[in-house]
Structure 1
């Protein structure tokens, strides 16, 4: 089964590569693909109108009205496409889609004609039917390709805006840390009287770190790589203030993930366990058939709150920011994972990550 899946994936990848190469090759003449297909459809319609078809001119017009109109429309779109802000690549996609739609619908119409001819003879020549099929196929594929290009263009613009936002958050977070460090230094010098100030500054620092992690959690995970869950968990545990808490590793599995985002996931889960379970909590990282889990022996999350636990702002800890679990969910969305919270064997919280991909 695995070999069949790999073969299918390889075939699809080859097809995508071939289609991309075809579009790149056709880009310089993309506009002429539309113009040429429109001229061809119109010319064929004119030829059939004068040579074949019904003896009644009015019926001929009705039979060929659609392909003529579509042909003229394609000619107009081909000439106007560059003036409407389409790139050469986009015009090539539209042109190739139109040609593909024509070909597919001609095949369908020919097949239907063959089925009908097996039941009874069809004296009428099918040329006008084929032309109408070409016109319908051209229009449907043009509309589909146009919507695809609009969605892709919007996605590209959103990705640019997201990257800019991540850059701004990173810059602001870096600039805030310097005055925070200075303020914490003066607060420490002030002694016990400044304890509330130190606590407030530490809370601000935590919020800055979590905002930065939230921004990076929405970035693309296209470059996934095999990652050892145990190793990443231990690294993440080392950067969290765990005090007397314990970490137990019950897995040797590897998953396909973006390493930095997986570290953020573990760090936020560990902080969440310590904030709610206390400094003596025990956290366990293990695996199951569909992925891996993180469990603790703290007070757990009430069943009534498990639906809202991942929403921004949800927290039951006095010093919590309400962003930790939301960051976890965003990282799961970026990886196409499913996350669910249940009760652990010790009565605490257990976060299960399902739909995880494993290296072959």
Structure 2
């Protein structure tokens, strides 16, 4: 099929496609999502097929108002209402227990809970309101690849597989939303994002960071918990200590005819980089790096022939938790160590 690029003037047409059971990618403040009518089982199944996504990987339900949420979820607790009042619209996804048979198991991965989000993007909120249905909203990319922060990234992965893409330019945050499970006794973060653990605890009290590893036969409660994510074709290696970059660059250039380097401006200013290593700046700090991480991985994946990518690591404090969560998954937990610089 032809994949159309919808402008903001084409929202009525994009909404009509969603209502007709077609797939339309949409912008959020975090990354682009892949939309389908969440109440249409056939349309939702096409999302899994288009992405090549495992069927037990649950989908986020994207909404434009709280009234829609109350149609599907069990009565909201005071803590959930506080989260909604504080962080919606915004980069927080909330897992809630569902009313019986409220949503298809195709959406929930077979669970009795579902993840809900109201994004801080006016174009998408208008799209959902115009369509008149909630939409599923996984990232609009081939499963396992870096998430898309531009409409062009979506088009590269999904052209010919979806009806269209609502283009609202580059996303603002660059990493997916924080996911908090409010179906448990103690609220638990299942995926870190722009809304930090401290911010959540400030408004609802005790919050637990999730350390659970999902087993091979276990259904994850949230996206990104079980399967490989965010990985470009080239192997990513994390450099945790900025003082190791000189050794890391020497190592990667000696083992690869072409390599990539992603680091902050301050690190790059102190390095002598050979011609065989292409540089992509992550900006001045972890906030900028979070915004640019997926764009950098996409750049090296789509526009170069690098076979390895060195990428700067950060502390897991604050926003660094979200950045390192995505980067570790992208790298398969591959970190540079000084013994790599020694040929054996």
Scaled by the length of structure 2, the TM-score of the pair is 0.21
Q: Which has the higher contact order (CA 8 A, sep 6+)?
A: 2
Structure ID, larger Rg: 1
Q: Per residue, is there more strand in 1 or in 2?
A: 2
Scaled by the length of structure 1, the TM-score of the pair is 0.20
